[in-house]
Amino acid sequence: MLALCGCHNSDENYDAAQMDFSQNIQDEWNSSKDKNQPEFLNLLDEKSSFNCISTDYVSDGYYVVNVQVTSPDISNDLKEYQKQITGKKVDTKQMNKKLCELINNAQSKTANQTVDIIVDDDNNVRVQFNDDFVNAMFGYAYIEGMQAFLSE
């Protein structure tokens, strides 16, 4: 996954613009991966990327990093697939294969998102991903998928 930070420089955000949190974001995203995750998640991770655009200083130790996320947009195709399998017994391997097919055939979509960064007094950096960022990184299907999962 690619993560670059080309932070813009403005007078009020000069210090924030000097802060490059791209590696922190990448490291945190990578640490959330499960070694045993399904193949389709590995494929999404391989085909999704983010690019840090700018960093805004919000308050003492709190920054918002503006990022562009590009990933395969599987949301509509996934809804159609869910309709097809509703009420049917589906093999996990078969489902994984179909999801990989959807990912490989999807058009890429780019959207602007944000990531929150908190830097404590000891300069420890904490990265906080919001649902919109995660949704974009997961093929624009995470939020709807979680809503469907929770409604069952």
Q: What pLDDT score was predicted for residue 152?
A: 52
Q: What pLDDT score was predicted for residue 4?
A: 38
Res 12 pLDDT > 70: no
Res 8 pLDDT > 60: no
Q: What pLDDT score was predicted for residue 6?
A: 41
Q: Is residue 9 very low, low, confident or very high in pLDDT (cuts 50, 70, 90)?
A: very low
Judged on CB neighbours under 10 Å (0-12, 13-18, 19+), 143 is middle
φ and ψ at residue 121, rounded to 5 degrees: -60, -25
Neighbours of 98 (CB within 10 A): 17
DSSP 37: -
Tens of pLDDT, residue by residue over 36-47, are 888 998 999 999
Q: What pLDDT score was predicted for residue 129?
A: 96
Whether the CB-CB separation of 20 and 32 falls below 8 Å is answered with: no
Q: What pLDDT score was predicted for residue 13?
A: 46
Res 14 pLDDT > 60: no
Whether the CB-CB separation of 37 and 67 falls below 8 Å is answered with: no
- The tokens describing 15, both together, are 């210090």
Residue type, 104: N
Q: What pLDDT score was predicted for residue 105?
A: 97
C-alpha span between 90 and 99 (Å, rounded): 12
Neighbours of 13 (CB within 10 A): 17
The mean pLDDT value for 108-126 works out to: 95
Selection from 1-5, 90-94, 118-122 with the highest mean pLDDT: 118-122
Residues written for the chain: 152
Res 150 pLDDT > 80: no
